[in-house]
Amino acid sequence: MTIKSISMQSLYLFLALVWACDVLAGSRVWQPASSQALDRRFFYIQDKSSQSLLTLDDREVWPGREIRYCWDPSDPRGTKRQLKKNLKAAHNRWITKGLSSDFRLTEATSEVCQDSDARHDLLFISLVRQNEGMATSVGRPAMKLPLTVETSRCDPKMLLFRGEETGNIGVRDMVANYAHELGHAWGLYHEHQNPAFWSGTLLAQGGSVFGPGNNGNWRCENLKDYNSFRDRIVPASDGVGEMNIDNFCSSYTAALKVGFSAADYLPMDQSAGTAHSTQGGPGDVDWASVMIYPSGAGGVVDNNLPGDDKRSPILLKPDGTRIPENRWPSQMDITGLHQLYGQVPAAKKSILQKVGGATTRAFNKVYDLSKGRRQGEAGCL
- Provide CB contacts within 8 A for 10, sequence distance 6+: none
Q: Is pLDDT larger for residue 369 or for residue 278? A: 278
Going by pLDDT thresholds of 50, 70 and 90, the confidence category of residue 307 is confident
Question: For all residues of the chain together, what is the average pLDDT?
Answer: 77
Which residue from 128, 131, 136 is spatially nearest to 264, judged by alpha carbons? Answer: 136
Residue spans of the domains in the chain: they are 8-361
pLDDT for residue 272 is more than 60: yes
For residue 228, pLDDT over 80 is answered with: yes
Query: pLDDT (tens digit, 9 = 90+) per residue, 64-104?
Result: 999 999 999 989 999 999 999 999 999 999 999 999 999 99
Output the pLDDT for position 271.
77
Q: What is the pLDDT of residue 96?
A: 97
CATH class of 8-361: alpha beta
Model confidence over 140-177: pLDDT tens digits?
Answer: 887 776 655 455 667 899 999 886 655 666 667 889 99
pLDDT beyond 80 at 326: yes
Above 50 in pLDDT, residue 46? yes
Residue-level pLDDT at 146: 61
pTM: 0.79
Note the pLDDT of residue 373: 23
> What tens digit of pLDDT does each residue of 277-301 get?
567 899 999 999 999 999 999 999 9
| pLDDT at position 270 | 77
pLDDT, average across residues 296-316? 91
Lowest-confidence region among 11-15, 37-41, 46-50, 198-202: 37-41
